[in-house]
Structure 1
Amino acid sequence: MLEVFKNYLDSKISLTEEQHEWISSKCVVKKLRKKQYLLQEGDIWKNHAFVSKGLVRTYSVDEKGDEHVIAFAMENWWTGDRESLLSGQPSRFNIDAIEDSEIVLIEKQKFETICKEIPAFNDMQNAIIDRSFVASQKRIHDAISTPAEEKYANFIQRYPAFATRVPQSMIASYLGITRETLSRIRHKSGKKS
């Protein structure tokens, strides 16, 4: 699975074979079975995580036992709890596998060393953070000012692969709507096409 990570890096930045080998030496591959945790609420997140295979979700569970999906990540996406990583505080979130998955983990200190030693890697990471920030702003805007039908349409437009890979109940949770509302929206949009 490090080959997938290597290909991803090659698509973003130029690295020598020695740099690839050095970065690979800092990585650990973790295989997750469907429903297996990468992170559990209360644990401290200490890694940068790249999804080389599969699909994971980040979510919290409220006092009533309801799940609130914060994010999904599939192949060639990064995942983790940035707040816990930066603060060293226990995470408020869980990350688990929606499908059997393989994750490339780079421990925080090692990741910082890579960023310091390879400026192009650091630039790539900063670009990812920038895109993530913009995506978060769009998500917040949709959450507070967009009708449910439009939220779903925006989700499908931005992330078409998730429509077939993510259970509808998780999509509803991500959008902050009930499963019944999502079912109604999907039924209505199915009639239009």
Structure 2
Amino acid sequence: MKEFIEYILHFGQLNEQQIAFISERVKELELKKDEYFSEAGKIAQQVGFIVEGVVRVCYYNNKGEDITRYFFDENQLVVEMKSFESHMESSEYIQAVTDCKLIVISKSDWEAFSQSMPGWDNLVNKMIQKILLQKLEKRSPLIEQDATTRYLTFIDKFPQLANRIPLSHLASYLGITPSSLSRIRKNIQ
């Protein structure tokens, strides 16, 4: 809980009463590796804050291939925002890559925060901006690089993730096959 409150406080001020209000409404959730936090075809009903572990945002393309779009680890919010905000079915999955511990806020409690805490919406907007910038930082450089450079860039920028995620998910994220990733790793070592 402490990590979540500290995360929020990076984006603005909360008084003790507001912190207590939030603390009373959030829940802890443990996900085992490969379990889903949210699923395609369903409406996202919760926001998660990762206390421990790694999750990925993924989808299946028209060939049925599992494609990883993003990874999120500790001290990050995770939600399928479009589905959560617009009450539309999600087109993506959020899946635990490792065993995870999350702080979870339901949609109704998230809305209660907005209605009862002045400044909450401003905090949320700042959080969303940070999430979007993190996504851009993770994806943009990878688009223009060859496979080896994409892998080296990922290892350089996200060393804390490299040994925590399966190679198949990393290969999917980098847009290469697992066998290509194995060759790249072998050639680098």
**Range class of TM-score, shorter chain:** 0.7 to 0.9
Which residue identity does 2:48 align to in structure 1? A
C-alpha displacement of 1:50: 0.8
CA gap of 1:36–1:137, structure 2 versus 1, over 3 A, is closer
For 2:48, what is the secondary structure of its paired residue? Answer: strand
Instruction: Give the equivalent residue in structure 1 for 2:130.
Output: 131
CA distance in 2 between counterparts of 1:14 and 1:130 reads: 17
Matches within 5 A, 1:65-76: 65-76=64-75
Task: Give the count of matched residue pairs.
Answer: 188
Q: Are residues 1:155 and 2:154 paired?
A: yes
Q: Tell which deviates more after alignment, 61-70 or 133-142.
A: 133-142
Instruction: Give the equivalent residue in structure 2 for 1:187.
Output: 186
Matches within 5 A, 1:76-155: 76-115=75-114, 117-119=117-119, 121-155=120-154
Gapped regions of structure 1 (runs ≥ 5): none
C-alpha displacement of 1:126: 2.8
**Identity over the aligned pairs, expressed in percent?**
29
Instruction: Give the equivalent residue in structure 2 for 1:48.
Output: 47
CA gap of 1:97–1:132, structure 2 versus 1, over 3 A, is same
Gapped regions of structure 2 (runs ≥ 5): none
What is the TM-score normalised by the length of structure 1?
A: 0.84
What do the CA deviations read for 1:169-193 (whole angstroms, capped 9, x no partner)? 1111111111122112222222xxx
For 2:44, what is the secondary structure of its paired residue? Answer: coil
Q: Tell which deviates more after alignment, 146-155 or 132-141.
A: 132-141
Which residue identity does 1:55 align to in structure 2? V
Q: Decide whether the 8 Å contact of 1:143 with 1:176 is kept in 2.
A: no
Q: CA RMSD in A?
A: 2.3
CA distance in 1 between counterparts of 2:81 and 2:11 reads: 22
CA gap of 1:122–1:153, structure 2 versus 1, over 3 A, is farther
Q: Decide whether the 8 Å contact of 1:71 with 1:174 is kept in 2.
A: yes
Higher percent of residues as helix = 1
Q: Decide whether the 8 Å contact of 1:44 with 1:90 is kept in 2.
A: yes
